[in-house]
């Protein structure tokens, strides 16, 4: 049987030009984390220390350790699951190979060899700039040369991320010793046919003996099958009767089956492959209709609205992301009602731990190939690397039932059309051959059970603009960049794959990341942790459209920018969900951060949930009430994305901001499963000017409509009572409290609140669970809570 020896210990990190003992190196890891552990660079996440670590990415580095390969087996391989990025590997002075791709694994025959193992990393800048010198420059969204090296693009910086260009052995490394043969690849094609689960395992083996008779025996769900290996490949097919289907969350359960395949030589087991699989079907409906051409995911025959979030690497140093951290972050997504996670193309193919968690949580995965916001050359050495990484990762990830879509790139087809690339390229290659040629061929050959789309955004062909909202996927960035979030309501795209609004991270996150700084929107650390072009200007202009912008009051600015972020995303999601099935999905930019930063995230770089996160829990719930202005009148949309009919009494109240009910009515609302019902609001209930608003209540859900921006609304001075118990805070309103927020991390950095923004009418109360805080006794606790409570106040 194949034996494995992990190589995690005994590594030393050196700079080639330096003598001395070197540094202890963690493997998996990277140079930055080793230097941090040794105290040789300051934490780049704090203050403006990022600039103090810039030199690291410009230097060469060497990992070394002694290696012995003595074994009773016929063959020993040195296997690297991930090397970041351009490196030469030598053993006892003998070159084993040279590599240049972070997204691939590498295997070297080291049978009988021993001595000093060296992994010499060139600077990724040196590698990228050399390729650019040979192939010529290409346009990109950023000046860094990320398009010329197969590496996580965002390590070169992004409009939410630091520039920390990594190097290192970032995934596990091991010795594998074996005799006769080993399993080199298994492609599990999992389908459902006529009520049965069908598993076709296509096996490839590597041999030391060409004449050895080999077979494979497979087991799935109690069903067994056996097949011979002819040469270096074979196929074994199993049929599992009446399997339990795997469903996305909200549509059913997520049963997983253990699949095992054993390579045999006679009765001797040589190698074993084990994975978990799930039975389900997936289609992508892009057919034409009266509204254009759609983009609807269909799982097990059920058409679904994708309640999505975009995922970026959860740490700029990906080797630090543990299985537990993936589970925690994706668990937060699931708890917010998310059913789809898009793995964005400027990052990585994530660890198997990521996809395992998605399998278990019922989170659909849309996987980008790693191309983002640049023209990518198609010549060698890049083309061969692109094909090799695509082939490896398609096979690596295809066992996971959560994976439902392969996507060729992020914004590159759009960039070619709209960002002046075509003129600047003057006929040079730019990636079209990957997205419309190579990648769809690889997916069709290796993983025909899943759909592929060429890019996001993409209208399906060059017959339409790549970002045409009537066709395929759409990225809505004009709103954040230039206009007001009310403009989300001007269009009904078929599928909104990116949109979002910025806000700063939680207060405790800022305090940790900017120690000792006198916080202000434009203080040095705040500006350094704002990477977007004119980001603060867009925040300010976005605020000014709705609020009187506070001058010199950082705490109010911090609160209002977070409110504005939640309101902006709500404006889009409420509008687009109300237009199901014409619009079949929203994928909010973005779920998470890779460091503490002002960004579009719902969960900040320290893992704290911003008000947007809690708003997503409302927006992405199975049932949602929202109010809309259409054709000159008000309409209530009752979105029912549950599997049962929704019938409820709807109470509509026209109210004054002083708390008086001006007019009211009761009516029935009924929405069939997976549909949206619309109820017209009687004209006499429409608010008359900024002193009034409309409240809609049904089944403990609420929708509000204020006809004027907050800066025009004569809110009363907020008055409320507070009571504190262990683990909970109760607020009772004596006046209208608009968007009340308890910032629990102001009570204690470890504290978390169980809910976000809530609007209370006079006399109403809300109890907010608070974890991680031990309140003081008596009035001191209530005073502390009052200092952490914020709501919209009358304009000053």
**Could you say which DSSP state residue 183 is in?**
E
Question: Judging by beta carbons within 10 Å of its beta carbon (0-12, 13-18, 19+), is residue 71 exposed, middle or buried?
Answer: middle
Strand ranges across the sheet with 758-760: 758-760, 737-742, 789-790
Question: Phi and psi dihedrals of 398, rounded to 5?
Answer: -65, -15
SS percent in the chain: helix, strand, coil, step 5: 25, 35, 40
Give the orientation angle of helix 611-619 with respect to helix 554-577, to 10 degrees.
20
DSSP H or E stretch at residue 366: strand 364-368
* Alpha-carbon gap, residue 149 to 580, rounded angstroms: 41
718 to 292, 337, 733, 758: CA distances (angstroms) = 48, 32, 8, 14
Helices (H), 300-381: 323-335, 352-361
- Would you state the torsion angle of the CA atoms of residues 508, 514, 515, 516, taken in this order, to the nearest 10 degrees? -110
* Alpha-carbon gap, residue 469 to 406, rounded angstroms: 20
* Alpha-carbon gap, residue 136 to 641, rounded angstroms: 51
Tell me, yes or no, if 411 is annotated catalytic.
yes
742 to 120, 570, 610, 691, 767: CA distances (angstroms) = 51, 19, 11, 26, 11
Do residues 770 and 742 make contact, with C-beta atoms less than 8 angstroms apart? yes
Q: Which residues pair with 737 in a beta bridge?
A: 760
Do residues 740 and 726 make contact, with C-beta atoms less than 8 angstroms apart? no
Among residues 713, 715, 707, 708, which one has the least CA distance to residue 733?
A: 715
DSSP H or E stretch at residue 20: none
Do residues 347 and 60 make contact, with C-beta atoms less than 8 angstroms apart? no
* Alpha-carbon gap, residue 664 to 355, rounded angstroms: 49
Helix (H, G, I), strand (E, B) or coil at 346: coil
Question: Judging by beta carbons within 10 Å of its beta carbon (0-12, 13-18, 19+), is residue 257 exposed, middle or buried?
Answer: buried
Active-site choice (350, 385, 411, 432): 411
User: How many CA atoms within 13 Å lie on the side-chain side of 258?
Assistant: 6
Among residues 659, 720, 665, 718, which one has the least CA distance to residue 691?
A: 659
Among residues 442, 437, 468, 475, which one has the least CA distance to residue 454?
A: 437
- Would you state the torsion angle of the CA atoms of residues 262, 267, 268, 274, taken in this order, to the nearest 10 degrees? 10
Strand ranges across the sheet with 106-109: 3-6, 173-178, 75-80, 106-109
- Would you state the torsion angle of the CA atoms of residues 784, 786, 788, 791, taken in this order, to the nearest 10 degrees? 180
Q: Which positions are annotated as active-site residues?
A: 411
């Amino acid at each position: 049987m194949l034996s494995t020896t992990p190589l995690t210990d005994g590594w030393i990190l050196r700079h080639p030009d330096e003598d001395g003992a070197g540094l202890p190196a963690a493997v998996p890891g990277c140079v930055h984390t080793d230097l941090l552990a040794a105290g040789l660079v300051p934490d780049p996440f704090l203050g403006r220390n990022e600039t103090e670590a810039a030199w690291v990415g410009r230097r060469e580095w060497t990992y070394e350790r002694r290696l012995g390969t003595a074994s009773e087996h016929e063959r020993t391989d040195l296997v690297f699951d991930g090397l970041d990025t351009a490196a030469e590997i030598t053993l006892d002075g003998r070159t084993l190979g040279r590599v240049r791709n972070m997204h691939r694994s590498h295997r070297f025959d080291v049978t009988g060899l021993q001595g000093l193992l060296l992994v010499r990393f060139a600077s990724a800048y040196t590698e990228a700039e050399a390729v650019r010198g040979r192939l010529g420059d290409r346009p990109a969204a950023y000046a860094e040369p990320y398009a010329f090296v197969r590496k996580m693009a965002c390590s070169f910086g992004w409009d939410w991320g630091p520039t920390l260009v990594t190097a290192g052995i970032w995934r596990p490394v091991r010795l594998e010793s074996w005799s006769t043969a080993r399993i080199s690849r298994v492609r599990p094609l999992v389908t459902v046919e006529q009520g049965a689960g069908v598993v076709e395992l296509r096996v490839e083996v590597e041999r030391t003996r060409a004449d050895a008779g080999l077979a494979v025996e497979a087991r799935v769900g109690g069903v067994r099958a056996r097949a011979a290996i002819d040469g270096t490949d074979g196929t074994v097919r199993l049929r599992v009767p009446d399997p339990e289907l795997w469903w996305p969350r909200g549509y059913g359960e997520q049963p997983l089956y253990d699949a095992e395949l054993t390579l045999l030589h006679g009765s001797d087991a040589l190698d074993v492959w084990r994975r978990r699989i799930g039975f389900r079907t997936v289609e992508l409906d892009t057919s034409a209709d009266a509204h254009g051409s759609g983009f609807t995911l269909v799982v097990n025959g059920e058409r679904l609205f994708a309640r999505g979030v975009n995922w970026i690497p959860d740490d700029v140093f990906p080797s630090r992301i543990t299985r537990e951290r993936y589970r925690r972050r994706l668990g937060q997504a699931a708890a917010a009602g998310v059913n789809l996670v898009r793995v964005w193309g400027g990052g990585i193919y994530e660890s198997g731990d990521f996809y395992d968690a998605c399998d278990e949580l019922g989170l659909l995965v849309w996987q980008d190939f790693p191309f983002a916001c640049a023209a990518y050359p198609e010549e060698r050495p890049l083309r061969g690397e692109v094909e090799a990484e695509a082939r490896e990762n398609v096979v690596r990830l295809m066992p996971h039932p959560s994976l439902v879509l392969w996507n060729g790139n992020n914004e590159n087809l759009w960039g070619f059309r709209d960002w002046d690339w075509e003129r600047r390229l003057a006929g040079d290659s730019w990636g079209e051959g990957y997205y419309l040629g190579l990648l769809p061929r690889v997916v069709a050959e290796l993983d025909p059970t899943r759909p592929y789309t060429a890019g996001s955004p993409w209208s399906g062909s060059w017959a339409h603009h790549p970002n045409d909202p009537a066709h395929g996927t759409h990225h809505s960035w004009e709103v954040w960049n230039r206009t007001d979030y009310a403009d989300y309501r001007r269009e009904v795209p078929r599928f909104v794959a990116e949109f979002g609004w910025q806000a700063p991270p939680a207060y405790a996150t800022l305090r940790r990341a900017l120690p000792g700084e006198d916080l202000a929107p434009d203080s040095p650390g705040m500006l350094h942790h704002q990477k977007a072009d004119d980001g603060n200007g867009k925040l300010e202009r976005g605020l000014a459209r709705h609020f009187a912008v506070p001058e010199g009051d950082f705490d109010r600015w911090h609160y209002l920018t977070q409110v504005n972020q939640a309101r902006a995303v709500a404006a889009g999601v409420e509008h687009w969900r109300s237009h199901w099935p014409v619009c079949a999905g929203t994928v909010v930019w973005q779920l998470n951060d890779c460091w503490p930063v002002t960004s579009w995230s719902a969960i900040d770089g320290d893992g704290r949930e911003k008000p947007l996160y809690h708003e997503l829990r409302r927006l992405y719930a199975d049932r949602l009430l929202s109010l809309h202005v259409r054709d000159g009148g008000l309409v209530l949309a009752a979105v029912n994305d549950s599997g049962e009919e929704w019938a409820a009494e709807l109470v509509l109240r026209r109210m004054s901001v002083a708390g008086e009910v001006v007019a009211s009515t009761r009516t029935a609302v009924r929405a069939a499963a997976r549909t949206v019902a619309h109820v017209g609001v009687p004209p006499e209930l429409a608010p008359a000017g900024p002193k009034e608003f409309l409240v809609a209540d049904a089944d403990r859900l609420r929708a509000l409509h204020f006809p004027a921006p907050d800066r025009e609304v004569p809110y009363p001075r907020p008055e409320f009572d507070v009571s504190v118990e262990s683990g909970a805070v109760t607020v009772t309103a004596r006046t209208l409290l608009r968007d009340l927020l308890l910032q629990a991390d102001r009570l204690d950095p470890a504290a978390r609140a169980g809910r976000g923004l809530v609007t209370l009418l006079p006399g109403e109360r809300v109890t907010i669970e608070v974890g991680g805080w031990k309140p003081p006794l008596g009035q001191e606790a209530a005073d502390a809570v009052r200092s952490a409570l914020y709501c919209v106040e009358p304009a000053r």
